[in-house]
Amino acid sequence: MTPYKSALITGASSGIGRALAEALAAPGVTLHLGGRDAARLEAAAAACRARGAVALPMAVDATDAAGMAAWIAGAGRLDLVVANAGVSGGTGIGGGETAAQTREIFAVNVDGVFNTALPALEVMAGQDVGAGGKRGTIAVVASIAALLPTPGAPAYGASKAAVDAWTVARARSAAAAGIQMTSICPGFIRTPMTAPNPYRMPGLMEADAAAGFILRGLARGRARVVFPWWMGLAARIVGLLPFGQRLMASQPGKGALPDRG
C-alpha cells in the first residue's frame, strides 16, 4: 500500500510519469497529473481511475512559472511531488546542438524543475507532519547522464547534472524542515524520449519497472537513487578515465528534440 495519499506529477502523460501515476493509483489516493497533451493526459488519468484513484489532469506547461505555482498551491495537501517533465535532444557529434535546442532543453529540464520543486517546498513547509514523520517528499527526475558528460547530447547531460546537484545539495536543509528531497537518476527507460536513439541502450528498462525502483528508493529516504546501479558505477568510472571523453565522443548522438507532451 502506498504511503502517499496525494501526489502531483509533471510529465504524467507518458513514460516514467505515467508509470509512476499508475503505480501510485489506488482507492483513497488523489493524483494531480500535469502535462501539455490533454488527450494523452486524460488517457493516463482514466487508467489511474480504473485502479480506484481520484485522478485530476491539468494541462500545464512546466516552463510556465506562474501557472505551475498556482496549480501546486491549489492542489491541497501533497505527500509527494515528482518533477518529471523533461526533454532530450542532440544532433550528434560534429554538428552540435542548435542554440534553440540548448535553450529549450534547459528551460524544461532546469527551469521546469524549479517551477515544480520550489512551490512544492513552500506548500509542504506549511503542512502538518504526516506518515513517516515527514511533511512531504519531492522527487526530481534527473538521469545517469548527470554523472557523465555526454558529447552527443551536451545540453541534456548538463541540465540533468544541474538539477541532480541542486536536489542532493538542497536535501539536507529540506530534511531539517521535514521534507525529503530525492534526485532520481535512471538509465535507459523505454519511453517516447528514448525511442529515436540510434544506438544500443544497455540496461534498457520498461517504465513500470523504473517506477518500482523509484518508489523503493523514495521509501528508503535516499537523497539520490541511481539505477541500474552497475550503469551508474560505469558512468562514474568512465568519467574519471583519461580516455573517457574520447570513448563517449565515438558514440552516435541523440535524435531530434521530441515533443514533450
Q: Which residue shows C-alpha cell 557529434?
A: 93
199 is catalytic: no
Q: What's the 3-state SS for 65-78?
A: HHHHHHHHHCCCCC
Instruction: Confirm whether 255 is domain-assigned.
Output: no
Angle ∠(117,71,114) on CA atoms, nearest 5? 20
In this predicted structure, what is the pLDDT of residue 253?
53
Q: In what order do the strands lie in the sheet with 80-83?
A: 54-59, 30-35, 6-9, 80-83, 136-141, 179-186, 224-227
Q: How confident is the model at residue 205 (pLDDT cuts 50, 70, 90)?
A: confident
What is the average pLDDT across 84-98? Answer: 70
Give how many domains the chain has, as a whole number: 1
Q: Name the residue among 158, 136, 137, 138 with its Cα closest to residue 148.
A: 158
123 to each of 47, 81, 108, 218, how far by Cα in Å? 28, 11, 22, 19
Sign of CA dihedral 66, 99, 157, 198: positive
In this predicted structure, what is the pLDDT of residue 164?
97
In this predicted structure, what is the pLDDT of residue 195?
56
Instruction: Confirm whether 254 is domain-assigned.
Output: no
Alpha-carbon span 126 to 98, nearest angstrom: 42
Q: Which residue shows C-alpha cell 489506488?
A: 26
Task: Indicate which residue of 4, 71, 156, 227 is catalytic.
Answer: 156
The pTM score is 0.88
Q: What is the distance in angstroms between the CA of the first residue and the CA of the last residue of the chain?
A: 30
Instruction: Confirm whether 38 is domain-assigned.
Output: yes
pLDDT one-digit tens code per residue, 8-60:
999 999 999 999 999 999 999 999 999 999 999 999 999 999 999 999 999 99
Instruction: Confirm whether 228 is domain-assigned.
Output: yes
Buried b (16+ CB within 10 A) or exposed e, 233-249: ebbeebeeeeeeeeebe
- Report whether 70 contacts 104 (CB < 8 A): no
Q: Residue 192 sits in which domain range? A: 6-249
Instruction: Confirm whether 160 is domain-assigned.
Output: yes
Amino acid present at 259: D
Mean pLDDT of the chain: 87
Instruction: Confirm whether 146 is domain-assigned.
Output: yes
In this predicted structure, what is the pLDDT of residue 235?
75
Query: Phi first, then psi: what are they for 238, rounded to 5°?
Result: -60, -40
* Greater model confidence, 236 or 139: 139
Q: Give the CATH number for residue 45.
A: 3.40.50.720
Instruction: Confirm whether 79 is domain-assigned.
Output: yes
Percent of the chain past pLDDT 70, that is, above it, reads: 83
- Report whether 101 contacts 89 (CB < 8 A): yes
Instruction: Confirm whether 137 is domain-assigned.
Output: yes
